[in-house]
Amino acid sequence: MDNDKNVLLKVDNLSQYFKLGNTKLKAVDHVSFSIKKGEVFGLVGESGCGKTTTGRTIIKLYNATGGSVYFENTRIVAGALDYKENIKNKRKELDNKLKELKKDKEDELAKDSNNATSINEKYDKLIAELKEEAKVYIQEQNKEIKKAKFDQKKCDKVFIKNNVLALKNKYQSLLEKAKTEEEKENLNKEYRKELKKARHEKLITKIQMIFQDPIASLDPRMTVKDIIAEGLVIQGVKDKKYLEEKVYEVLELVGLVREHADRYPHEFSGGQRQRIGIARAIIMNPELIIADEPVSALDVSIQAQVLNLLNDLRNKLGLTILFVAHNLSVVKYFSDRVGVMYFGQMVELTTSDELFKHPLHPYTKSLLSAIPLPDPEYEKQRVRFVYNPLVEHDYSEEKPKFQEVIPGHYVLCNTKELEKYRQEIKNIDLKNNASHNGKKKKKN
């Protein structure tokens, strides 16, 4: 959907299914979107729509059932569902074609039994060609399954190998230019330190997560200092003084003080705990942060503080954020683009301003109609729109697909709905222009 070079994260047909007895729960079903560097991408929908599962699958807390996630043009998440489905469909298609050929062969033999040998040869050849074609296709899909399994498990090995090679080339060049033995010794020490870190570093650590419940995501038996520094320790950093300074630095960055480092999570308020969670994420110097409803468990006054903090950190550190939320008002304030999810599927995707100006999918309209405003007169007249998919859509003739209604505005719809949505945008714009011109005339 987006081939821009500035794309940091690309989610392509991502699926996450969970076993539910003899059936499957499609928590995330073929979801696609991309996030550009420095952008805040909002993912909204009511509870249970699959937004948190999407974030957790991206960061590999769950193994994806199907689809791919590309981070910095490297596939970090890969599922085999689509390839397995392709193999299954190909086998069904082959069986149907073989049945048709068998029937055609019997009909021809009944009409012309004298040429039985040539008829048999003709159909044997056709059957052999079909089987060979299916065999080649299935082999290709099996190769894709192997690639997906490799990328899911071994993408970090390739990343580490490339990092180590880049470091080796960098320091080799620096050592050749070094003039004194002392300079060479210092470079060698620095190289060994960097090499140790590079061998423990993973591509996925460039993505960090801020969890919804600030107390459940913090270990109650660890001090704040240990919680925040844990990621660096896992990477192989052992210098206690460096770790301490780094912890103090990020604590001050998130609005806490050095004295908080030796305390335990239960000694803090909800807002302070969430700041600790943010500090733990940013100490890893990530490029992308997945913020999973980071303010929904906080008081309204604290919500604003945490959102402003995230906004400041975004500008200071150049962060890219996937912001998961169910509050559209928060998303409008904080996000550049918004994806709306319903029952595991992406139903609408566009810029924040465009979504509020031209909401097209009935589910998006339903979400917007539920937003209360601090205006008694408006609240008296506010009409709630209840979304009923069986009433709103007729997909008996044509199934929906994710389509671009106007540039940058995507909706899950079929061809008939696509035309309807395009006309709807024209009507809204005409109405707004007429209203704007009317106000101008009154002023004059």
Separation of alpha carbons 414 and 401, rounded Å: 6
| Side chain identity at residue 355, one-letter code | L
- pLDDT tens for residues 281-318? 999 999 999 999 888 878 888 888 888 999 999 999 99
Q: What is the mean pLDDT of residues 272-278?
A: 93
Residue 59: Cβ within 10 Å count: 20
- pLDDT tens for residues 147-179? 999 999 888 888 888 888 989 998 888 888 888
Question: In Å, how far are 98, 123, 129, 320 from 103, measured between CA atoms?
Answer: 9, 11, 17, 60
CB 84 within 8 A of CB 145: yes
CB 225 within 8 A of CB 241: no
Q: Residue 121: pLDDT above 80?
A: yes
Region label for 195, one of left (φ > 0), alpha (ψ between -120 and 50) or beta (otherwise): alpha
Place of tokens 């969890």: 211
CB-neighbour burial class of residue 224 (10 A; exposed 0-12, middle 13-18, buried 19+): buried
Separation of alpha carbons 396 and 366, rounded Å: 23
Going by C-alpha positions, the residue among 54, 50, 44, 47 that lies closest to residue 368 is 44
SS3 254: coil
Structure tokens at 195: 């090499």
Report the predicted TM-score, pTM, of the whole model to 2 decimal places. 0.86
